[in-house]
Amino acid sequence: MNFLTTFFHLYGRGRSIAGPALTGLLIISGLFSCTDVLTEQPKSIAVETFYNTTSELDAAVAAVYSGLRNSASGIGGEYAAQLEAYTDYCYGRPGSSYAILSDFQGLNSTNIVRVGNMWTVLYLSVRNANLVIQNAPKAKSVSATDIAKYVGEARFLRALTYFTLVKNWGAVPLRTETNLNEANVKRSSVDDVYQLIIADLQNAETTLPDKPAQSGHPSKWSAKTVLADVYFYQGKNAEARDKASEVIQSGKYSLVPITKTDDLQNIFGPAVVTTTEEVFYLKYTRQAGQGMYFVMFPNHPATKLVGAGGFYGISSDLTNSVYAAWDDKDLRKGNWYVWDLGLGKTTTLSKKFIDPLAPFQDACGNDFPMYRYADVLLLYAEAASRAGTGPTAAAMDALNQVHRRAYGFNPTAVSSVDFKLSDFTASTFNDLVLKERGYETQLEAKRWHDLKRLGPDKLKAVIKAAVGKDVADKHLLWPIPTSELNYNTALDPNKDQNPGY
């Protein structure tokens, strides 16, 4: 029996989270996004005998990545495009299915289906993580230390997946190793979901290795970073500050220096294997179905910046208030260049993610940066300020490291572009870091959630000031998919759907 058939029997025998006929197909298609999984040769199709060797556990953990890395609907695909169309600096191209997203009035039928597909692949990762968490401890031929490591990685990935789910859908069904075979699971409260996320990450930070065996896998520092972000999103600023400080003080990471805009390709380019600022990335390769699909969205075929063309579904404009206020000396601004899409001579596209050698649309070689050291520094800066009575010297230094690098200076040496602590109050400093995070993390699917964590009033004010549009309340959460409501009888379509849908 070949490997894919084995996994069909092993993972595909339960009811699909989003419909009965999809589980086996989704898991098989997801495995194509992990080349190392395809080389494994499990010795049995039975769950009770599969999780017994390190090679079998390697294959099982690799399957957890399949939903997160799904080329079409995963985080490095349409998920990122969806969120970037919500920002104050980007627009969904008029005439495309993403245009309506930039109206901030909720989703139409096309986008409801699109986010429903995201739900399905995310719960695929949850299911595969649960299988590892449930079965790895039973392994007969694996050391206790290694078992803890495999379970820790699965719990890290489950936490990351649920963090993605709760930020976008709010209360969601909490599927764990304890109710793995239950088809009908009610929505758990946001607080309960966060309790699981935090417990998973606290386990991961004690069981994952100090340094992963290879890039693309988490370390204990990855777990601490995500935990800091979870606390940050919850408004637990002291906890976020302290956890981010642990990562900074570890000395494990540093910013990649640049002297010109094109040097940013040493961080985001398709040829990069890893860098000193990579905390946790989703890894992709130039193979059909295994590439970072999102690269297609900010690019146009005529530019030749992506070998497979480009959708130019995400763009900006010289008149955009964020762009217009941005200092021209900031090398990050240089990623944006004028390109007429037929919308006027001031339209701009971004070359932050490009791959001139990509052979297919779903085969771009860039990795998706879930967490970089720049994220950690900026998170620490703002969390430290919000946890106290304003910015500290350490908070200002963390911000200045990112700011210096953006202007081509040594990140760790005092420079002429440094902000000065005495010039800022708590309020003005927090706004400054928020602006800097907006510049630094463009096209990384972070800006919308950065604004959401500050509350709907702040989010609506920022969007209104930038693009002159009002954000509807229904735009703040995605709808629970019809497939979930149809097949999960623990949900009431009238009571469990998010507002406005």
Count of CA atoms in the C-beta half-sphere (13 A) of 183:
14
Q: Is residue 322 part of a domain?
A: yes
305 found inside a domain: yes
Per-residue pLDDT reduced to its tens digit, 209-245: 999 988 999 999 999 999 999 999 999 999 999 999 9
In a domain, 318, yes or no: yes
Torsion angle (degrees, nearest 10) of CA 113, 114, 119, 120: 80
Residues (pLDDT < 70) of the chain are 1-48
Domain-embedded: residue 192: no
> In Å, what is the CA distance from 404 to each residue of 9, 56, 255, 278?
53, 46, 10, 19
Residue 325, in any domain of the structure: yes
Closest Cα partner for 159 from 208, 222, 226?
226
Whether the Cβ atoms of residue 453 and residue 430 lie closer than 8 Å to each other: no
C-alpha distance across the termini of the chain, in Å: 45
How many CA atoms lie within 13 Å of 486's alpha carbon, on the beta-carbon side?
9
CA distance 100 to 37: 38
In a domain, 307, yes or no: yes
The two tokens of residue 81 are 């495009």
Residue type present at position 382: E
Query: What pLDDT score does 47 carry?
Result: 63
User: Tell me, what's the pLDDT at 10?
Assistant: 34
Look at residues 391, 387, 32, 393 and name the one whose alpha carbon lies nearest to residue 228.
Answer: 387
Tell me, what's the pLDDT at 48? 61
Q: What global pTM score does this model have?
A: 0.91
**Which helix (H) or strand (E) covers residue 226, if one does?**
helix 220-234
Helix (H) or strand (E) holding 172: strand 172-173
Q: What is the pLDDT of residues 311-349, one digit of tens each?
A: 999 999 999 999 999 999 999 999 999 999 988 899 999
Report the pLDDT value the prediction gives residue 3, as an integer from 0 to 100.
32
State the Cα–Cα distance between residues 71 and 68, nearest whole angstrom: 9
Q: Exposure of 193 by Cβ count < 10 A (0-12 exposed, 13-18 middle, 19+ buried)?
A: buried
- Domain span including residue 320: 282-350
Q: Which two tokens stand for residue 448?
A: 């919308």
Instruction: Kindly list the distances between the CA atom of residue 235 and the CA atoms of 74, 205, 336, in Å, as whole numbers in the listed order.
Output: 27, 21, 32
CA atoms within a 13 Å half-sphere pointing along the CA-CB vector of 247: 34
* 91 in Cβ contact with 314 (< 8 Å): yes
Task: Give the number of domains in the chain.
Answer: 1
According to DSSP, the residues that pair with 434 across neighbouring strands are none
On whether the CB atoms of residues 287 and 363 are closer than 8 A, the answer is yes
Structural domain contains residue 323: yes
Sign of the Cα torsion 123, 124, 129, 134 reads positive
State the pLDDT at residue 1: 33
332 within domain boundaries: yes
